[in-house]
Amino acid sequence: MKEKVICGIQQIGIGVSDVIEALKWYMDHFGFNAIIVDDEGVAERMLPYTAGKPQPRRAIMAYNLMGGGGFEVWQPKGRDLNYPEFEVKLGDIGIFICKLKAYNIDDAYNHLKKLNANILSEPTISPSGQKHFFLKDPYNNIFQIEEDDYIFLNQRKPIGGANGAIIGVSDIDKSINFYKHIFDYDTVVYDHIDVFDDLKAIPGGNRIVRRVLIKRSKPIEGPLSEIMGTSHLELVQCIEDTPKKIFENRLWGDPGFIHLCFDIRNMNKIEEAAKELGHEFVCDGGRDFDMGDANGHFTYLEDPDGTLIESVETLKIPILKKFGLYLNLTTKDDKKPLPFIITKAMKFKEVKKSSKLK
């Protein structure tokens, strides 16, 4: 019998005003230079979140092959963008911070310092003993660089792929149950209420919050799981203040972290698990959805606070398009990672210099 398989965090969606400018910055600073998908078209299946109208956009999905989730950098076109009307702070509802892996935190810190990045804090220690620091990109998005020993393809880059996210929630116990029951984040690493010294450098870091880190107890599994690797989610609930919704009165695709996406196998099992908690799919792209030269089945759920969570069952991705080489995942074992010689071929998708992006 087919089972639900969570392969990992496939990508974090980032809305920007200029997709090429932003991706060049992410390549140079974070090493996201493997371009998997570059698609310009119309988002026709997200109408509940695009004011009921199909929205033209360009989306580029890029990975850092050191290991970790990717970025889906998303530029709406043909409309004015809506920015938050307030300073987004720790505990506000939605995806607040994207976490990135770093094999050596000091190397990552020095790399970004040399590039004159807007570093918000020096390396410090989380409640779990993990070294980390924060920085802000030129588009007002905050990233947390965390020391993590997971490596997919050792390219000696100082920073790796996405490691998870900090998500603001209104009822942390409901949110824990949501991410545990549907996406298998079943292990609580820590659960504390305090003003945290290691968060004081970020907006709202002086708030009293409940802070819970959750991870999956299962080993990674699934065809593309070794590229994405391990991950964790940090849920934060305001105790002393009333939080605001980060995407209140804004559209999907507007600037900021627009969604968190999981790579999965057997979408019907995700749907069953979601329905058991009373969460219906709010958008279902079907199995015939093409994004450029890639193909898959995507769906969206809202977490208990309305934050958009995407699931993608990847069916086909291009490796060497000009030679007609595609990776067909429909015939692969749902749980077994692909042989390394196959996933290593993702190196052919790398763009060596950001100046070559157009």
Q: Indicate which CATH number applies to the domain containing 23.
A: 3.10.180.10
- The reported pLDDT for the residue numbered 293 is 62
Residue 193 CA: distances (Å) to CA of 37, 51, 121, 140, 330: 41, 38, 21, 27, 45
Extract the tokens encoding 89. 């702070």
β-bridge pairing 232-238 and 162-168: parallel
pLDDT of the residue at 344: 87
Inside any domain, residue 187? yes
Residues 6+ apart with CB under 8 A from 37: 59, 60, 61, 291, 292, 293, 294, 317
For residue 263, give both structure tokens.
């790579």
Does residue 56 sit within a domain?
Answer: yes
207 touches 90 (CB < 8 A): yes
Task: Report in angstroms the alpha-carbon separations of 311 from 17, 121, 141, 181, 264.
Answer: 25, 33, 23, 14, 6
Residue 308, domain member (yes or no): yes
**Angle, alpha carbons 73-86-232 (nearest 5°):** 50
User: Is residue 147 included in any domain, yes or no?
Assistant: yes
CB 265 within 8 A of CB 252: no
Which two tokens mark 11?
Answer: 């990508």
Total domains present in the chain: 1
How far apart CA 92 and CA 235 sit, in angstroms, is: 11
Cβ atoms of residues 176 and 88 within 8 Å: no
- The confidence score (pLDDT) of residue 325 equals 65
* 2 inside domain: no
Ordered per-residue pLDDT tens for the chain, 358 residues:
689 999 999 999 999 999 999 999 999 999 999 999 898 988 888 888 998 999 999 999 999 999 999 999 999 998 999 999 999 999 999 999 999 999 999 999 999 999 999 999 999 999 999 999 999 999 999 999 999 999 999 999 999 999 999 999 999 999 999 999 999 999 999 999 999 999 999 999 999 999 999 999 999 999 999 999 999 999 999 998 899 999 999 999 999 999 999 999 999 999 999 999 999 999 987 766 555 566 789 999 999 999 999 999 988 876 666 555 677 888 889 999 999 988 888 888 899 888 888 8
Task: Give the C-alpha separation, 102 to 109, whole Å.
Answer: 9
> Residue 92 domain-assigned?
yes
The crossing angle, in degrees rounded to 10, of helices 267-276 and 172-183 is: 150
Which pair of tokens denotes residue 139?
């588009």
Structural domain of residue 171, as residue ranges?
Answer: 8-356
Predicted pLDDT at 92:
98
244-261-17-250 Cα dihedral, nearest 10 degrees = -30
Residue 240, burial from CB neighbour count under 10 angstroms (0-12, 13-18, 19+) = exposed
Phi (first) and psi of residue 191, to 5 degrees: -150, 100
Q: Note whether residue 264 is domain-resident.
A: yes
| Distance between CA atoms of residues 250 and 296, nearest Å | 27
Quick check: 70 and 314 in contact, CB under 8 A?
Answer: no
Q: Would you state the pLDDT for residue 105? A: 98
DSSP type of residue 245: B
**1: in domain:** no
- pLDDT for 251: 95
